[in-house]
Structure 1
Amino acid sequence: MRNFILILFVAAACLAFIITGHLYWERKIDATVQAARMKIDASANQEEAPSRAEEILDRAKQLPAAAQAAIKRAVEENRPIRFVVAGSESTPETGGWPELLKRALDDAYGKGAFHITVHEYDGLTTADADEKRIAADWAKDKPDLVLLEPFLLNDNGVVTIDDSLAHIKSIISQLTSAAPDAAVILQPPNPIYNATYYPRQVEQLEAFAKENGYPYINHWPAWPDANSEELNRYVDPQTDLPTAEGAKLWADALAKYFITQ
């Protein structure tokens, strides 16, 4: 009887040892498999990051060198590209071409690649903007890119073009002093129907940008001829501001500049 009990005890001990050993090795194998999976996932993420960075930089390759450098810096720091859009009531904070441009950038670069902040100044002239030192508003956003529509339409008939250009230069200087890494790009406001002096002022703005080395987006060729009544579909003749169709046209023209197809 004692031998039988001893045999049972030994058998139970062996079974317990086998089960314990099996569970131990099972856990060990699971841990090894999990560690291998984590290593593979980490490696995949590391491979994905350069690929994503390359994709963003490839999309931006037709931008000016300073803008590409600013975007590259943001990508390397693994953060959104801080993009400030500033201008008059032609550049509305809501419901206009900046919102449409943001959607286009999200579609092309991936949602969140750009963080866009819009600063709209209703009724300001370049003289007002210079005096109020509004560039300090933009510098607070620590921008990588600044797209400036410099109040030229509000200046029309109020501020001479020579003074306008001097104020624009001062505004940009204020910005670059406060945010030296920001890449500034100029663009004109929208065209208006049957204007006489305003188109000449815009031509001088473009020449000024070229002379001073400021990147310039000339979106006017995308609009109907300024002497054609067709323009009134895109710019409200009562307010001289873009209609919904005009906002889309403007955004599409800018998207072609910011997004390499």
Structure 2
Amino acid sequence: MVKNFLLICLFIITFAVLAGGKMYWDGQINSVLVETLSMKAPEQSVKSEVNEDPEKAAANKEKMLKLDRLNYLPPELQQKFREKINQDKPLHFMILGSSSTSEQKGAWPDLLEKRLMDVYGNTLLNVTVKEMANMTSTEIVEENLQEEWVKKKPDILLIEPFLLYDIEEIAIKKRLKNLTVMLEDFKKGNPDLTIIIHPSNPIYGAHYYLEDEKELEKYAKENKYIYLDHWKSWPDSNEKEIKDYLTNESLPNKKGNEAWAQFLLHYFVREI
């Protein structure tokens, strides 16, 4: 009996030792596997990065740079630019107006375009400037001259609507009707068009012209267009100082163009 009891005890001890040993070695093996996998993970990550398509990586980097530049834009324009970035297309920004919106070097459209290109680049923005000189808004509409520019389908239209050139020819109500015809044509060409209106340059001793500018601002707000009142950057039109900003033809000179451009730049390029 004693012998059998000892054999049973020996069997139990042997089984316990074997089971304990197996559990210990299983734990050691699992630990080694985990460590090995953790060491391989970074290698696999690096390998994945190395194997990434260079063109795709460059495109992703360029897209992130473009998105970062959106922070400089006014909030109401950021979505418009974001849509173009997702389409991998530049946004078409058109500047249109009378002789006050000159195509000459050093004029405010030229100064604005150069600064916009410096900030946003031609992969994000394409700028077109069109000066329709020596013509009233009625002549433009009757001859349907805006159609040439409607076909270009701008995404943003910054228009100076012949307010000054029309002043001695056409009543303000007619001028606003002409403006409506032009803008409706542009919207037919691109229903998603963003329209920004700003007045022609101020002049000395404006009188009725001041009222016309107020009517233009009222028109813009009633039609939910963005209105940029750059007159705030000029001297008061009743002060002789404003003559220092104008040519003999009451158009912007170097100083006037710089004042106009500076106001617009504060809108299109925000400080962040």
TM over 0.5: yes
Aligned to 1:119: 130
1:219 shift after superposition: 0.6
Matched residue SS, 1:188: coil
Q: Distance in 2 between matches of 1:157 and 1:72?
A: 43
How many residues are treated as equivalent by the alignment? Answer: 225
Q: Distance in 2 between matches of 1:140 and 1:54?
A: 28
Aligned to 1:106: 117
Aligned to 1:73: 83
Aligned to 2:66: 53
Matched residue SS, 2:153: coil
Matched residue SS, 2:216: helix
Asked if 1:241 corresponds to 2:251, the answer is yes
Change (3 A) 1:77 1:163: same
Matched residue SS, 2:165: helix
8 Å CA contact 1:106–1:112 kept in 2: the answer is: no
Q: Which amino acid aligns with 1:78?
A: D
8 Å CA contact 1:142–1:179 kept in 2: the answer is: yes
Asked if 1:258 corresponds to 2:271, the answer is no
Matched residue SS, 1:79: coil
Aligned to 2:101: 91
8 Å CA contact 2:158–2:197 kept in 1: the answer is: yes
Q: Distance in 2 between matches of 1:39 and 1:252?
A: 44
Q: Distance in 2 between matches of 1:87 and 1:197?
A: 21
1:195 shift after superposition: 1.5
Q: Distance in 2 between matches of 1:36 and 1:70?
A: 32
8 Å CA contact 1:136–1:178 kept in 2: the answer is: no
Change (3 A) 1:142 1:38: farther
Greater mean alpha carbon deviation, residues 87-96 or residues 122-131 = 122-131
Cα RMSD for the two superposed structures: 2.2
1:131 shift after superposition: 1.6
1:47 shift after superposition: 4.2
Structure 2 regions of 5+ residues with no counterpart? 1-45
Change (3 A) 1:199 1:39: same
Structure 1 regions of 5+ residues with no counterpart? 1-32
Deviation per residue, 1:191-228 (Å, 9 max, x gap): 00111111110011001110111111111100011111
8 Å CA contact 2:161–2:197 kept in 1: the answer is: yes
1:36 shift after superposition: 6.4
> Which runs of structure 2 are paired with 1:161-172 in the superposition (5 Å)?
161-172=172-183
Aligned to 2:228: 217
